[in-house]
Structure formats: structure tokens, C-alpha cells
A and B are shown apart, each in its own frame.
Chain A
Amino acid sequence: MARRRKRGRRKSRRQAPRYRIPWLRGLLAVAVLLAGYLVYLDFKVRHQFDGKRWSLPARVYARPLELYAGLPLTPEQLATELAALHYQPAISPRQAGEVSRNRNVFHLITRPFVHWDGREDSRNIRVTLANGVVSQLVDVGNGAAASLVRLDPVMVGSFYPTHSEDRVLVKLDEVPPLLTEALVAVEDHNFYSHHGIAPLSILRALWANIRAGGVVQGGSTLTQQLVKNFYLSSERTLRRKINEAIMALMLEWHYEKDEILEAYLNEVYLGQDGGRAVHGFGLASHFYFERPLAELSVEQIALLTGLVKGPSYYNPRQQPERALQRRNLVLDVMSAAGLITHEQAVRGKSRKLDVSHYRKKAINTFPAFLDMVRRQLQRDYREEDLTTEGLRIFTTLDPQLQWQLEQVLDRRLGGLESERGIPANTLEGAAVVTSIQGGEVLALAGGRHPGFAGFNRAMDAKRQVGSVIKPAVYLTALQRPEDYTLATLLDDGPLTWKAPNGNDWSPQNYDRQFHGMTPLYHALAHSYNVATARLGLELGLDSVISTLTSLGLRQDFRPYPSLLLGAVELSPLQVTQMYQTLASGGFRTPLRAIRAVLAVDEIPLQSYPLRVKAAVAPAPAYLITTALRFAARTGTGSALYRVLPAAMDIAGKTGTTDDLRDSWFAGYTGDRLAVVWVGRDDNQSTGLTGSTGALLIWRDLFAQVGDQGPLQSAVEGIEILRIDPLSGLRADNGCPDAVELPFIQGSGPVESAPCAVGGSPLQRPVDWFKELFE
């Protein structure tokens, strides 16, 4: 440089002096610019390669299915789960992800999977189902009983950034060696010896292109292809070619061959799924074959390898002939390179393409549930982290229950419309299903069109709740055992309440009749408005509001007496939270949609643990559940048992609002709670009560779910007494309509009813089922 400058100076002395300086400056400037540009390229290459190479969407998983002897599960449910996980049917399973079924016996090899709490190894198991449960779970390897096997979870969605690229990241050691060998053999057989570019290949390609009069051959190394995919646009200019070559050399200078290969495997463009670009072999394997890379056959590997040359030109779904030829060519190359035997190539070539049927699926299958997940995550993560950091989110979703819920909701609403002459598609609905003790949201429907990511009614539709609120009034009473029991007679006679502003409030019953003195449990079971209003006014609105708050409703309730009859707007999710506390015996558990979040490298980031708070004493909670069992069995919910088996123990409450605008049903069994709302988006009348609308959806769902566990656990300090419902006093066998009711110890009536004769049971047997058959 110095010499050149010297020479330049001498030269310039001979030339016109006024040009000397600009010439030198120009040269310097070019050199500096060039150097700067190289530094910039080098920085770009290293920065992007070292740092975050890909923005990875967060992946959202359903709950994994845990198999154990005694688990309630039908063969159809297991088959559905395995289909959702893309287990491949096989005559005799040999590798992970394969299953064979012989009626009620499934033989499967589970996939290894890293859950939030650790890795679950692959297991070779036989599952026998009988009478609606897993009757046997056997480890095929040693023939011994397996106590617990956890499947991989169904992926139910991803959170994408605005530009829709997607990947399933793979590590080099997870990739079948045959794939990398085939790739090298087909695309760049000097990969392990060149320094990023292969001049001979370029010349060869150039010659071929000249002879053909156009671009027929690439000549790019894998490294160049990576650079092109990784850093550059797809423009075809000389400048880009030069940049590509320089950056390829830099990449090779800085990184090992294996690192480059791994990046290539994850970066290369292999197809298009609607608006979503399919990058990398990990995702391509799922996209074309619905199985992980590790489970691919020889010819499937050959097909993917062949796709690199032109994913749309050789698109196996649209151009099966071309794709087949390309695949067979790759099989020949693999055989010639000694990667597979000649026989393997012949066998592979004889097979069909075997590409899975393309499903134009919404990226997120359950938008309403994912909406809830996203909102819970947004408390802890920035939006950017959700779409770029590759978080793995483990949720509480039970996909089987979700499908069932979506199905029954749409079917029943459609049925109601056609039966009742309601204009089609005017009824809307929303529902939430939870596990009672854990407070996990198992399914959530935000509307009747499940795939549509619109208004999430389960979370955002605040509607009047009507009688669904009444258990809070009765619970307030039952928390004062000295004053109220299930047998206390309430007055359901005419009531007029004078508001401070002078207005009168005269609540009416739904049947426009008054029912006189009626035992407390019966007033709730039959949802008498007047008795409830009078009771609530006796207790005080503030006490009722305080009960609502302790049940988990965080909201400013205005102390109007109409609150007692449900003139308050809540979302289905809020109603679920309220009933959750009742159903779990008085313990409040914040509803959870997420169990844990893992970082992309499988390090646990956050768990959302089970937390409980004793909100209502167990004894009053027990009493209210008893009253709600009466409501389901013989009260406003009795339509349940026209379909559901008598053995199913249910506690539930209907809700109907003025002019039949809203139809609610909230009910629970031993293990699950579900709240259903039906109404119209324009808040017009639906013509449906709680029991002719929402209850039917609830019933449809539980007819499928079939939860028959016991509803109530025994509670300390509860005694059972036989009561004459007419007088609310102690009954004996002389009283034909006697009921047995639980009481908080010592709170029950002492006096005997007029009907009590103290006679022998043989004289006047109690008719347990009288009310049932009335």
C-alpha cells in the first residue's frame, strides 16, 4: 500500500497536481468502504449465527394423557388421542409413534418427550380397555404391569410473530444420519472438504448453463445455500452472488462444518402452508408426513432431500409425478453413494409417495382457549417473547373434552333453532369446563363456531346471570347455622320492598305464583324468587356481596336488592370461578389454563402451581351442594335425568334472565364443573330458559363425558336427620314425605313434626323416591 501510495505520488507529480489529492482520496475511500463492508458482512454473519438465529413461535401443548389402570377411558377416546398425535397404524409396532389395535387392546410404542417436569422415555406398552376404564397396562418388554405411562401431548397451537415463518428446531444428533448423508450426496458432495465455495462446481454449472442457454444448474455449496436462505433476499444479481460467496467463506472460517450443517437443516425452505413458510426438515417432516424426523422411512428421507432443489416445483401434493421422479433419482444417488443398498433403493422406489393428506388447518385449533392462555401469559411475558423465544407452554386443555364441547354446543344450538323456529345462526353460546379440585380449565368454548377466533364470549361476554347467583344467597344463610338450616321454612308469600327513593320492588316467581312456607333447600331447588329475595334482604345485601367476593368474584357489586335475583353481569368464566369454590368444598382455586412454561432449551421458566384458599367452611359448602343436588334431581334441573343415568350425581343450578335473554346452567359432578351460557349477541330474547337451553348442552356434554364419581366427600361436623318438609321438623316413619337432610351438628330441629307417630317402619314406610316419580 505504502509503495503504491509512493508510486502514486511520483506519478501524480508528473500529472496535474490538482487531481492528485482527490484520486488518492477516492482510492482510500474505496478501500475503507470495502474494508468496512467486509467488517459489516463479517459482523452480520457472526451476529446472526451466534445470536438468536431464528425467532421461534411459542408452542402450546394440551395436557398429556396419562395412562394408568383404572383411568376412565374408552377405546374410541384412546384412538382419537393417538390419531391427534399422529401415531401411525402398524401391524406390529417397531418404532416410537406406531400403534396397533385389536378391538379393545392397543399396542403402542410411545414417543420420548421432554415434559415440564422431566423427560418421559419411550415405552413399549399394551393397553387393555374394558368397561370404560383402562383395565390393564402392561410393559411389553418385561410383561410386567406398568403403573403410569405419560404420552406426548397434542400440540394445539403456536403464537406467531407477524411474519409467518415456522420451524421445529432439530439438533444434529436428532437427525437421522441417512438424511444428512443424502443431503451431502445430492446437494454438495464436497461439503466436508471445501471452504464454503467450490469453484469447480461453479465452473461446471456455468458451462452447463451456457450450453443450455439458461440456468439449469446451481453449483452452490450447502454453505452458500444456507447464506442465501439465512441472510439474503432471493434476488438473482451478481452483487448478491458475490456477497453470498464472501459470506460463505466467512461462515466457514468461523464455524465448524457440523454447526453449518445443523443451521442448514433448520433453515432451508421446504414448502408453503398457506401463509406460513415451512422452514427446516423438522417442520417439513410434520408438514408432509405428520411424524417427527426420527420416524421417517428411507423413501421419505429421499423425498425431503429431493425437495431442497425446488419445494414448489417438486411439491408432492401438487406435482406428485415430478416429486416421485425426483425422489427416485435421490434414491439412486443414495444407492450409488453407498448410503443404502441397491435393494433398499428398489424397494423405496416401489413405494407410493405416502404424503399425508393436506389439511388447511387454522394454525390454532382452539382459538378461545389459546386466547385465555395468551392472556395469562401476558401477565408474565412480553408479546415479543411469546412469538420469538420458542417457549413451550404446557396447558391444562383436555383436547377430547374440547372437541366434545364444541360438537355438542354447535349441534344443540342448531337443533334448538330448528325445533323452535328460531332464525338460524342467531343463538350463540359459551362454555367452560374445569377440574374441580385442581381448578384447571379443561375446555373452553368462546362461541359456537370453534375455529373462528372472534369474540371470546366465555371470557368477555358479560351477561346477566339470573338465578345462577342464588346459591350465594343461600350459602350466606347456611353459614349462620343458628338461624338457618336446609329445613328452615322460608316465606314465599308476596313481598314489596320499599327502596330509599320511594320506589317499590315486588319480585315475582317465574310461574307467577306464591308458594307459601317452603323449606330452604326446596326454595333453592325450585328457584323461588320471592323466598330468595326475602331471605337475602333478611341477611343483608352486604353479607351476600361478601359471600360473592369470597367465592372468587372480584367485582364491585352495587347493593341493589335485584342483585339477589341475579341482576348482575358476569362472564361465563366468572360464573365458573364462583361455582368452582362451591364444588371444591369451599376452597377457592384461581382457575388455571397453564401448568408450566419451558424455555426453548427445555429449562423450566415458570410453573403455575396449584394454590388453594379456604374461602367457605366445609360444612356450609357441603349443605349448599346438597341443596343443588336437589335442584338437579327434583328441581329446576330435573330435565337432566331424562337422559343422564340416575347414578350420575349432579349438583346444578339453572339461570334465566328477563325476557329470556340469557339461558344459564352451572353444574358439577364428582370431578368436573361446567358452566354453559346461551344467548344472542344482540341481547334479544332467545325464548329459552336455563333448563330449555343451556342445561341441554350441559346434559349433552356429560352424557358423553360420563362422570359418575361421588359428588360429596364426608365432612366433619355434619349429621343427618329425617325431616318433614311441610313443617321443617323432625320426621319419623310416620311421615310419608320425609327427606333426609344434612345439618351442621346441633343445628337441626329438635321438635317432632305433627306427622311423626313413632310407629314401626313396617306401618308407614318412607317413600324415598316419591318426589322423583312425581
Chain B
Amino acid sequence: MKCSAGVPLWVGVSCIVLINGCTGMSGGQLPPVVDQGTQGAELSRYPQTGEPAQPVPRAPARVDPPAVVALLEHAEQQANAGELESAAVTLERAIRIDSRNPVLWHHLATVRLAEGDPLQAEQLAIKSNSLAAGNFALQARNWELIAEARRNRGDTSGALSADRQARALGKR
């Protein structure tokens, strides 16, 4: 399944939860809503003077919190039913619970793009990328979305450069 953000709004939105289809993960299931690249493991490589050598793990149930999975599913249903604003509100609710989860920010960007707000969609995708260190598949998806947002705004050269970023990341 190719979830190009360039397709008509609906299809783009239907990718919401099925991002695994877009990122090359095993199909049919929800994506891991926690992206491995961002969870403290990185920090543990460089403890600093006077600081604990190991990062403090987050609260338990950090991986795939059922609450966040439930909200993502709900947001998908809403988006597919055309209730974009409701989907956005549900995603914000999920972000409140798991605010550093880049997948949630990506979905919110997708919904804003579908709503016709390419400026905010681009910013949200950048935000998603800032939390997605190491997750090149998600970063590539965000760049695809940014490219589409820029095309929507008539910024062709900006879109091309975003496309290049997406392709480069896709190869990694």
C-alpha cells in the first residue's frame, strides 16, 4: 500500500493508523506507537558529568500504551468517516498521554493536510521528525507529507527538495 500524501485527501487520511503499510513494517497490525529510536536508549550512550549514567526509564507501559492504541483506532474511524476535526481532537488527546510519540504527531499532520491546512501540516511533520531520530521510514513519510503540503501551497521547488529528502531517507 502506497500512502503518498499526494493522493486525494481521503486515501491520505485512511493511512492514518495503517502507517505500517507505509513504512514497510509488517502489515495488518497497528504500528508500534512508540518509536524505538527515541526512547532513552540514545541518551544512555552519553551520560554527563554529575548526572546519572543511566537515563531514568519512563513510567511503565511505555510501549504501545493501550490507551493510545485505542485513541488511534478511534481517530482512524473518525477520519475515515470524514470527521476530520474530530480525528484531530482525538489525536491531540493521544498526544496529551504520549506527547513524545512521533507517530501521533505524524497522524495529526496527515489530518491537518487533509483539512486543507498545509502550513500547519508541514510544521507538525517537522515536529514528528524531531522526535523520530533513527526511524528513517517515518521520517521519509513526513518528508513525503511535507512535499505534498508544499505542492498544495504552490511551492514546487520546496516540494521537490522535500521529495529528495524522502527518497534519500527511504534508501536508508
Q: Do A and B come from one complex?
A: yes
Q: Which residue of A lies closest to B109 (CB)?
A: A612
Does B62 make an interface contact (CB < 8 A)? Answer: yes
A residues 429-471 near B (Cβ < 8 Å) are: 435-438, 440
Does B38 make an interface contact (CB < 8 A)? Answer: yes
A residues 575-614 near B (Cβ < 8 Å) are: 585-587, 596, 607, 609-614
Residues of A within 8 A of B48 (CB): 626, 629-630, 739-741
**Interface-side segment among B23-31, B52-60, B155-163:** B52-60
Docked-complex contact A116 and B50, CB < 8 angstroms: no
Docked-complex contact A713 and B130, CB < 8 angstroms: yes
Residues of A within 8 A of B123 (CB): 587, 611-614
Does A769 make an interface contact (CB < 8 A)? Answer: yes
**Interface-side segment among A67-75, A177-185, A686-694, A750-758:** A67-75
B168 smallest CB distance to A (angstroms): 13
Residues of B within 8 A of A716 (CB): 129, 133-134, 139
Tell me the complex Cα distance, A670–B51, Å. Answer: 15
- Quick one: which of A72, A609, A613, A629 contacts B59, CB cutoff 8 A? A72
Residues of A within 8 A of B61 (CB): 69-70, 133
- Quick one: which of A145, A671, A712 contacts B43, CB cutoff 8 A? A712
A437-B99, A714-B38 known; A634+B134 contact, CB < 8 A: no
B157 smallest CB distance to A (angstroms): 19
A residues 117-136 near B (Cβ < 8 Å) are: 117-118, 133
Does A148 make an interface contact (CB < 8 A)? Answer: yes
Does A709 make an interface contact (CB < 8 A)? Answer: yes
Tell me the complex Cα distance, A768–B101, Å. Answer: 31
Classify chain A: how many residues form its interface, as a range.
35 or more
A438-B96, A609-B88, A629-B48 known; A586+B70 contact, CB < 8 A: no
Residues of B within 8 A of A646 (CB): 52
A residues 641-658 near B (Cβ < 8 Å) are: 646-649
Does B116 make an interface contact (CB < 8 A)? Answer: no
A147-B69, A437-B95, A610-B95 known; A713+B100 contact, CB < 8 A: yes
Secondary structure class of chain A's binding surface, majority of residues: loop
Residues of B within 8 A of A742 (CB): 46
B43 smallest CB distance to A (angstroms): 6
Q: Which residue of A lies closest to B54 (CB)?
A: A647
Docked-complex contact A713 and B86, CB < 8 angstroms: no
Does B93 make an interface contact (CB < 8 A)? Answer: yes
Docked-complex contact B67 and A117, CB < 8 angstroms: no
Does A362 make an interface contact (CB < 8 A)? Answer: no
Docked-complex contact A438 and B59, CB < 8 angstroms: no
Docked-complex contact B60 and A70, CB < 8 angstroms: yes
Tell me the complex Cα distance, A709–B126, Å. Answer: 23
A148-B67, A740-B46, A771-B50 known; A611+B133 contact, CB < 8 A: no
- Quick one: which of B97, B99, B100 contacts A68, CB cutoff 8 A? B97
Does B32 make an interface contact (CB < 8 A)? Answer: no
Docked-complex contact B58 and A618, CB < 8 angstroms: no
Docked-complex contact B66 and A720, CB < 8 angstroms: no
Residues of A within 8 A of B51 (CB): 629, 633, 649, 768, 772
Does B6 make an interface contact (CB < 8 A)? Answer: no
A686 smallest CB distance to B (angstroms): 30
Residues of A within 8 A of B90 (CB): 117
Docked-complex contact A609 and B92, CB < 8 angstroms: yes
Does A66 make an interface contact (CB < 8 A)? Answer: yes
7 A-B contact pairs sorted by A residue (CB < 8 Å): A68-B66, A438-B96, A612-B124, A614-B130, A629-B48, A710-B58, A740-B48
6 tightest Cβ-Cβ pairs between the two chains A and B: A714-B42, A70-B61, A68-B67, A720-B46, A437-B99, A772-B50
